[in-house]
Structures are given as structure tokens and as C-alpha cells.
Amino acid sequence: MILKLITTAVLATAVAATVAAPASAGVNGRQANQQGRIYAGVANGSLTPGEFLRLERQQASIHRHEMFLRTIHGGRLTAFDRFVLNQRLNRASNNIWNKKH
């Protein structure tokens, strides 16, 4: 039972990430997409100023983390770095959706 729930959650996350931004977009493409979603939420009034600031801080933290990882690996991201950043971007994407609805 628990295995089915975990499998379902993993598949749902993978599908949501694919729908939100294609895998070919990479980390920077996903960040740009999420910024657009945040700005659209502000424009249509579904995000309050406080929610906007929290989401922006989260995006800035992810960006700083990416820059740090690129610095320590000579300007490139390893597969594990991309995995970690995508996990953070998945959480940020869920936060954006939750705040907007």
C-alpha cells in the first residue's frame, strides 16, 4: 500500500515537472518559467505582496545555490547537482501553485 502511494507520488511529480517546463528547458528554463508564473500571479491578483516576496526569496535561494554549485564544479552542473536543483524547483513550483489557488 505504501509502495503504491510512493510510486504514485513520484510519477505525479515527474508528470507535473514535465508539464510545467519541458526537461529540455533545464534548470534555467524552469527558473524562467516559474518567474513568469509568479509575475502572472501578481498581475492577476492571485498572489498577495507577502506571498510574492516569499516566492521571490525562494527563487533567489535556488539561483544562489545553482551559482554556488557551478562555482565549485568549474562552471558546470553534475547530474547530482541538476537532480538536487530540480527537487528544489519542484517544491518551488508546488509552492507557486498553492499560493495562487
DSSP letters, 25-77, are GHHHHHHHHHHHHHHHHHHHT-S-HHHHHHHHHHHHHHHHHHHHHHHHTTT--
10 occurs within a structural domain: no
36 occurs within a structural domain: yes
Report the domain count for the chain: 1
What is the average per-residue pLDDT within 81-98? 96
Share of the chain above pLDDT 70, in %: 76
11 occurs within a structural domain: no
Higher pLDDT, 10 or 20: 20
Task: Give the three cell numbers for residue 90.
Answer: 519542484
Residue 50 domain boundaries = 27-100
52 occurs within a structural domain: yes
87 occurs within a structural domain: yes
Summarize pLDDT for 28-77 with one digit per residue, the tens. Answer: 999 999 999 999 999 999 999 999 999 999 999 999 999 999 999 999 99
